[in-house]
Amino acid sequence: MRSKAALAIIAIGLFAWCWPFAAQAAVDREKLLKDTGVYATFAVFKVDEDWWKLDKVARASAAAEVKAAFQKHGNSVTTDTYLLRGLVEKADFFVRVHATEMLHNQNFLVDLMGTALGKHLVNTHTFNGITKGPNYVPSLPDDLKAALKTPLDPGAKPYAIVVPVRKDAEWWITGQDSRNAMMKEHTEATTAYLKTVTRKLYHASGLDDLDFITYFETAKLDDFNNLIIGLERVKENRHNKQFGNPTLLGTIRPLDEILDILSR
Ligand code: HEM
């Protein structure tokens, strides 16, 4: 008995000793951006008017504090930052956060909001979702499945667009075969844009008032415009109860650049 207790104490001790080192390892960004079962939070912010009244030194020191908050959580979340200012009226920037637990996204955002800059941030929108495996791709004909593997054109894709989507009740009670047919039509409408538009789909039902958060990157906003028009013409679009509202159009920028713009 005594030896069992001693072993348990050693095991607890070892765990406590190893834990800080394990926790310090940076998250595997590539894996989080690729895997299913990953939680994503899109946190959208507007800087309040008082922020711009602060002197430059105060704004620069607040920016350094924000960088520290990003670094502190680099062991549990991976982040991407986007500038909306100038293109979106109600918001200045957003952060896309991925982690294996929604709690990690929340802890990071709570710390960010607790910084001196955070106290000047109005959180205009937050979208929560999870990545999942495909529901419809397996039912697509082989030629369409093959088309989905079309390689992207090389080069930077500086624009990011986020479109929140909510389906109507009719969609969810429609049988799988009919939905497969509608998603086939959806996919056919997109093939002309596979080279220029990258996409990522998040499922949001129950985690938000949405059903999906759709995320895109492109260098060709004209293509994106035509892609949306094409998708508005397919039957599946009749089931979109919410499409955008808000649509976020921003540019992908490093955190330093966004902080620099806000500190000028
Ligand atoms: C290159 C562009 C696009 C391609 C190749 C594409 C292709 C697809 C495919 C194959 C699926 C089925 C995924 C599955 O098997 O679960 C899907 C789902 C979906 N797509 Fe697109 N899509 C594109 C653009 C868009 C755009 C622009 C929107 C809206 C802004 C959109 C909204 C959705 C939504 C909401 C779903 C989920 C439907 C559901 O599960 O009920 N897609 N898309």
Q: Is any atom of ligand 1 closer than 6 Å to the C-beta of 228? A: yes
pTM over 0.75: yes
Domains of the chain: 27-131+257-263 (3.30.70.1030), 137-250 (3.30.70.3420)
Pick the catalytic residue from 199, 233, 253, 264. 199
Q: What is the pLDDT, as a whole number, of residue 34?
A: 97
Sign of CA dihedral 203, 223, 31, 156: negative
Q: Please state the rounded mean pLDDT for residues 218-228.
A: 98
Q: What is the pLDDT, as a whole number, of residue 4?
A: 53
In this structure, which residue's CA is closest to atom 19 in ligand 1? 201
User: What is the band of 264 on the pLDDT scale with cuts at 50, 70, 90?
Assistant: confident
* Residue 239: closest CA among 186, 166, 136, 140: 166
Q: Please state the rounded mean pLDDT for residues 116-130.
A: 98
Return the ligand 1 atom nearest residue 194 CA. Answer: 1
Q: Is any atom of ligand 1 closer than 6 Å to the C-beta of 224? A: no
State the distance from the centre of ligand 1 to the C-alpha of 187, rounded, in angstroms.
7
199 annotated active-site: yes
Question: What pLDDT digit, counting tens, does each position of 80-112 carry?
Answer: 999 999 999 999 999 999 999 999 999 999 999
